[in-house]
């Protein structure tokens, strides 16, 4: 009988440990980014005052930030690990990330279609 009880207790401890781990992991993911989508902008930020498409993208991202969307801006010559992590090769690049940092939407370049798509998607974020 001792063997059976020790086995049952052992299995119960493993179940409790796994459950606690999953609950903790889920809380960390949600609270870390507050469950909100985030926006990563990689652009030559000095172009914000120009009259080109890149400036339109920068202004759209900054308008989303003013509405409360978490935004991070990086210049293409930044030493941030995020440039490598998200494989940013084109400027401007706008990434919409979920709460865990996974890319939900990716926009590269500054053609008219991309500018409209960025503006449309960012307008839908709260």
pLDDT in tens, 20-73: 565 554 433 333 445 668 999 999 999 988 889 999 999 999 999 999 999 999
**Closest C-alpha to 96, from 67, 74, 125, 68:** 125
Pair (29, 55) in one structural domain: no
Exposure b/e, 97-122, CB count within 10 A at least 16 = b: beeeeeeeeebeebeeebbeebbebb
Pair (61, 83) in one structural domain: yes
Indicate yes or no: pTM above 0.85. no
H or E, element range at 49: none
Pair (49, 19) in one structural domain: no
Pair (56, 16) in one structural domain: no
Biggest distance spanned by C-alpha atoms of the chain: 81
Pair (43, 61) in one structural domain: yes
List the structure tokens of 93. 């690049």
Please report the pLDDT score of residue 51 as a whole number: 87
C-alpha to C-alpha distance for 13 and 101, rounded to whole angstroms:
32
**Confidence band of 17 (pLDDT split at 50, 70, 90):** low
Range of the structural domain that residue 24 is part of: 1-33
Task: Give the distance from CA 95 to its chain's centroid.
Answer: 7
SS3 28: helix
Please report the pLDDT score of residue 28 as a whole number: 37
Q: Which residue has the tokens 């507050």?
A: 34
Pair (85, 102) in one structural domain: yes
Pair (102, 70) in one structural domain: yes
Pair (40, 23) in one structural domain: no
Domain count, the chain: 2
Q: What is the CATH number of the domain that holds 63?
A: 3.40.30.10
């Amino acid at each position: 009988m001792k063997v059976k009880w020790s086995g049952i207790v052992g299995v119960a401890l493993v179940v409790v440990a796994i459950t606690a781990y999953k609950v903790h992991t889920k809380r960390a993911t949600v609270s870390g980014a507050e469950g909100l989508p985030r926006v990563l902008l990689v652009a030559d930020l000095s172009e914000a005052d120009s009259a080109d498409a890149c400036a339109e993208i920068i202004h759209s991202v900054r308008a989303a930030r003013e509405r409360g969307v978490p935004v991070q801006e990086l210049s293409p010559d930044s030493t941030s690990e995020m440039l490598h992590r998200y494989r940013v090769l084109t400027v401007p690049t706008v990434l919409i990330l979920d709460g865990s940092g996974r890319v939900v939407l990716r926009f590269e370049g500054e053609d008219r279609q991309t500018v409209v798509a960025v503006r449309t998607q960012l307008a839908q974020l709260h």
